[in-house]
């Protein structure tokens, strides 16, 4: 793990780091914010997964999480949204390829060699954090994200309910198997056999028996992707059927941008802190 930069902010240190990933076969960059603490104190870990076209930097620069993270004593980790590099497969469209990893382990060419974001976020990066960040209490982890990253957060939490004690999302893609973004990405990364998509679809996972105690979602009512790509009512229906407590806040006048995310960031950090202890 090599340090790109560190900066003091709101009673903590915002770092940006890089490492050679064995699962993506690339250099991967990520951000970690660690509040000040006693020397031997360990703090809960909260993962933030970014959306389409984003890197670790979008939420780091526009998410406005550091003040509240220090107040609550939360480590915030922000991975990249895909492998990147000159020799890494890409696509001219913004919703495929670099910047659009969809947090899946690709099985189709040319993506399979590098686009292993499920394994990266679920296994490789947590192992690195456990080794390199002494303050990180890996027994207390939560996860949240935005849009494609909200999809990633929901599916990762549903697949790993014993590891992640809390989950929330901003404007998540809740049923990628049913919307254009997801159909395109899952079809090309995983192939056209839709049964292989279900472990990457929050609504399908819930239908298949996956459970978490509760979920928080904030969704802008003026989000231009709401009706075609996000469809939060499908998550509401799945949670109601499964008995999962879903808090779905439809935020009047708010859109899909970081103006919305930064507005409700404190609410989400408090939600996670209350559940992580």
Q: Annotated active-site positions, please? A: 147, 223, 256
Query: How far, in Å, CA of 93 to CA of 164, rounded?
Result: 33
Q: What is the C-alpha end-to-end distance of the chain, expressed in Å? A: 28
Token pair in block for residue 182:
């997801």
Query: How far, in Å, CA of 55 to CA of 71, rounded?
Result: 25
Beta strands 2-8 and 12-21, pairing class: antiparallel
Beta strands 164-170 and 136-146, pairing class: parallel
User: What are the start-end ranges of the H helices in the chain?
Assistant: 56-62, 66-72, 117-119, 125-132, 148-159, 180-190, 202-207, 232-242, 258-276
Q: Are 123 and 131 in contact (CB under 8 A)?
A: no
């Amino acid at each position: 793990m090599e340090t790109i930069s560190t900066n003091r902010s709101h009673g903590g240190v915002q770092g940006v780091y890089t490492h050679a990933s064995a699962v993506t076969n690339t250099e991967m960059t990520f951000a970690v914010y660690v509040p000040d603490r006693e020397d031997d104190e360990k703090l809960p870990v909260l993962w933030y997964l970014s959306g389409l076209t984003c890197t670790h930097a979008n939420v780091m620069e526009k998410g406005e999480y550091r003040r509240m993270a220090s107040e609550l004593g939360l480590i915030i980790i922000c991975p990249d949204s895909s492998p990147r590099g000159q020799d890494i497969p890409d696509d001219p469209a913004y919703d495929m390829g670099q910047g659009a990893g969809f947090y899946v382990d690709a099985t189709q060419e040319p993506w399979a060699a590098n686009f292993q974001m499920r394994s990266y976020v679920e296994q490789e990066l947590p192992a690195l954090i456990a080794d390199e960040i002494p303050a990180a209490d890996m027994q207390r982890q939560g996860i949240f994200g935005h849009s494609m990253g909200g999809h990633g957060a929901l599916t990762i939490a549903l697949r790993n309910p014993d590891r992640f004690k809390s989950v929330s999302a901003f404007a998540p893609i809740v049923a990628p198997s049913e919307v254009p973004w997801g159909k395109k990405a899952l079809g090309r990364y995983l192939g056209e056999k839709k049964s292989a998509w279900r472990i990457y679809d929050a609504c399908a996972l819930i239908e298949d028996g996956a459970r978490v105690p509760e979920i928080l979602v904030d969704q802008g009512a003026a989000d231009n992707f709401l009706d075609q790509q996000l469809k939060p009512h499908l998550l509401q229906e799945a949670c109601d059927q499964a008995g999962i407590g879903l808090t779905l806040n439809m935020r009047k006048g708010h859109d899909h941008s970081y103006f919305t995310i930064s507005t409700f960031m404190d609410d989400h950090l408090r939600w996670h802190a209350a559940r992580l202890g």
